[in-house]
Structure formats: structure tokens, C-alpha cells
Structure 1
Amino acid sequence: MKIAIIDDDPIFQFLVRKAIVKIAPAHELLRFDDGQQAFDYIKSCLPLNQAALPELILLDINMPWMNGWQFLDSYRALKAVNYHPHIYLVSSSSDPADLLKSQTYPELKGYLKKPLSIQQMSDLFTALRD
């Protein structure tokens, strides 16, 4: 499985990578510092190189250039019929408005609160297998 970590925090990227290597080492990680980088990558893979697309996306909300909400809006505008990754918002935001807004995006599979624990990551992979 290809996993995209879209977050401008290198420490978060490092910790998630370490957790994934511990829980599920066979997965390939793609790392992006902002939503624009990730969106450009996804767009470049459609429609000819879909095998390179991530099946799981861990998406931060607050990032420079293109934040998580803008990424979701751009992804939605793509209307990629044959590409439906599991997208989870991952945020340290405690603003209830962010949680409410996340519920308006049917593309989202969930909202995870930072910092992520090994148990949360393990539960996520278990849910994806089911």
C-alpha cells in the first residue's frame, strides 16, 4: 500500500514514518510538505500511472501554499472516477469548527487528532484491512 503524508511538520512526518515502519513495514511512503505538492503529484499520475497513487492519505489542515481544505476542494474538482483513496484529516486543531467542516466532505474517512499514537496507527491499519 502507498501512503501519502501531507504535512509541513517534518517531526510529524518522521514520527508517522517510524510508526508505519514498526506496524506495517511493507508499505511505501510518499511525503509532501503541502497540499499543492501532493495535488500536483496525484494529478500527474492520473489517468496513466494510477499504480503510483497513494491508497491512504494522512492530510494536515494547516499548511502553507495549499492547506488541507484547499487540497480536498481541488481533489473533489478532479472528479477522478477510478481513484478513491482513504483520506484522513490529521490535525492538532481543537477548533470544533474544523471537526464540523470535516463532516461536509464525504471523501474523508475520519478525523485524527495529533499527536498520533502507535495504537491509533495500528487501529487505522486494522480498519483498512477490514
Structure 2
Amino acid sequence: MLDLILCVDDDPITLMLCKKVITKASFSNNIITAKNGEEAIQYFDSILNKETDKLPQLVFLDLNMPVMDGWDFLNIFNTPKYSEVTTKIVVLSSTIDPEDHQKSKNFPMVIDFLSKPITNEMLNYLQTKFEE
């Protein structure tokens, strides 16, 4: 079981479903959310600034969001400023564009690219990645 997960998505229903499925599967002790990439970056900045010490082990990241989309988040998160952050990212998106899947492989912190909605099967699959 992971200690903390951050779900980043602009859709409140998707966030609610994520929380429900993760909780029911006992995949994580705590789940926090952000409505866009900017909120997620602000959260990681608060860790770097020592305002909080709660580092998520995993981020579920949507790609298509207003304010700051998932790609912009990944571009910022992939800079030297965040190089000490060990958080892994799973892109969780409704996109079916194979180019998006390929593009996500350019980011070393992205461990997988999965299609919405989140399911128990996905969490079981991801659990094996964290046990390796």
C-alpha cells in the first residue's frame, strides 16, 4: 500500500471516482487532489520549500486540463529543480492518440500511460510495479 497519491484532473467526477476506487482497493492511505498542473506544481513547490513533507509516491495525471495541462506539468516537473523528487507518474487520460502515449515515454518519471477510468485491475497491475 502506498502512503500518499496525488490525483491531478480538472473533472470533479473523475477525482471522486479515483478516490473511491483507490480507497476501496486499499491502494493508498491518503489521496490528495489538484484541479490542474499548476496546482500540482504548487504542491511540489511547497515540498521543496519545506512547507510540507508529504511527498506523494505516485501521481495520476490527466493530460487535457485548463490553466496548465499535463504536458506543461511534465515539462516543468522534468527540470533540474525537481530532480530530487522521486515521485512516479501514471498518465491517466481519455486520449486515444498513439502519439500521446509515445510522447509520455520521453519523461523518465512516467511509469505508465493508462486509459480512464481508473479500475481495480489497473491498481493491481500498478501494485506489482511498486513491489519490484
Using structure 2 for the length normalisation, give the TM-score.
0.89
Q: Which residue of 2 aligns with 1:104?
A: 106
Once the two structures are superposed, residues 60-80 of structure 1 have per-residue CA deviations (whole angstroms, 9 ceiling, x without a partner) of 000001000000111112533
- Distance, in Å, in 1 between the alignment partners of 2:58 and 2:122 is 15
- Aligned pair partner of 1:86 in 79, 85, 88: 88
Q: Please show how residues 1-130 of structure 1 align to structure 2 within 5 Å.
A: 1-24=3-26, 27-49=29-51, 51-130=53-132
Q: Deviating runs (4+, > 3 A) in structure 1? A: none
Contact 2:46 2:52 in 1 (8 A): no
- Distance, in Å, in 2 between the alignment partners of 1:66 and 1:118 is 28
Calculate the aligned-residue CA RMSD, in Å: 1.7
Gap regions ≥5 residues in structure 2: none
- Distance, in Å, in 1 between the alignment partners of 2:52 and 2:79 is 18
- Distance, in Å, in 1 between the alignment partners of 2:27 and 2:121 is 15
Using structure 1 for the length normalisation, give the TM-score.
0.90
Cα distance, 1:96 vs structure 2: 1.2
Contact 2:4 2:28 in 1 (8 A): no
Once the two structures are superposed, residues 9-67 of structure 1 have per-residue CA deviations (whole angstroms, 9 ceiling, x without a partner) of 11111111111111116511110100000101111210525631211100000000100
- Distance, in Å, in 2 between the alignment partners of 1:109 and 1:79 is 20
- Distance, in Å, in 2 between the alignment partners of 1:12 and 1:94 is 17
